[in-house]
Amino acid sequence: MTGRSWSRQQGSAAPAALTLRHLDPAAFRARLPELISVYVAAMRYPDGIVSARAALWEEHSRREGFASTVAVDDHDRIRGLAYGYTGRKGQWWYSEVARGLGGAGSPWLSDYLELTELHVRPDSQGAGIGQALLTALLTDRREKAVLLSTPEGTNRAWRLYRRMGFVDVLRQYHFAGDPRPFGVLGRTLPLSTGAATPD
């Protein structure tokens, strides 16, 4: 998708104009260092995680249903990104959420897009970029639902997900190997249907 752009709010440090663009898997892999730099800046992570993330994101880009949307400025620099793929049995995240739900029989796990990452550079936040990225990524998906996990806490991400109709699937959940509590949120697709639980 190209052509969707908007101007920064007066006084903002964000770039003057941003455009949404879908990256196919090959283009996503070609821009991995820049994509991961957005993730590191948004999450305030140390640079030392870059190589591990690169290997993981490359593997994700080869999964069924992979899609990625980025927001680029007028110099083609990535200011925000969103990506995901079709959730399947055998994937780590699927297995973890199934454990939390007491088994794989939950209707949430029957046909869903895993929203794996959604990040906006700190100096571009607060201008609606996250919502635009999420809307573009979720539009015209064939899955019946979308699921995501995010650390617990009141913040901009949680407000965005609630605004977009996501409901609680699991709360205060601990993924294996991570001491932080997470919320697992979901909503039905398409976006026009509201946020009822899946059948």
Give the whole-number percent of the chain exceeding pLDDT 70.
92
- Per the structure, the count of domains in the chain is 1
Mean pLDDT of the 159-171 span: 96
Alpha-carbon gap, residue 189 to 144, rounded angstroms: 5
Q: Specify the pTM.
A: 0.88
Mean pLDDT (whole number) for 66-72? 98
Q: Residue 169 has what pLDDT?
A: 97
CB distance 116 to 84 below 8 Å = yes
Residue 180 maps to a domain:
yes
Across the range 4-18, mean pLDDT stands at 48
Of 39, 83, 85, 161, which is the active-site residue?
A: 161
109: domain range?
5-193
Instruction: Using pLDDT thresholds of 50, 70 and 90, give the confidence band for residue 144.
Output: very high
Pairing verdict, β 182-188 and 167-173: antiparallel
Query: If you ran DSSP here, which 8-state letter would residue 33 be given?
Result: H
Which percentage of the chain shows pLDDT scores above 90? 76
CATH of the domain at 173: 3.40.630.30
pLDDT of 26 above 80: yes
Which pair of structure tokens corresponds to residue 76? Answer: 């083609």
Residue 128 above 80 pLDDT?
Answer: yes
The number of helices, as runs of H, and strands, as runs of E, in the chain is: 6, 8
Q: What is the pLDDT of residue 73?
A: 94
Q: Is residue 58 part of a domain?
A: yes
178 inside domain: yes
Please state which of the ranges 46-50, 112-116, 162-166, 172-176 shows the lowest mean pLDDT: 46-50
- The answer to the question of residue 153 being in a domain is yes
| Mean pLDDT computed over 145-163 | 94
Q: Please, which pLDDT band fits residue 158 given cuts at 50, 70 and 90? A: very high
- pLDDT category at 9 given cuts 50, 70, 90 is very low
Average model confidence (pLDDT) across the chain: 90
For residue 20, is it within any domain? yes
Kindly state whether residue 66 falls inside one of the protein's structural domains.
Answer: yes
Cα torsion angle, 45, 18, 65, 194, sign: positive
161 catalytic? Reply is yes
Quick check: 44 pLDDT over 90?
no
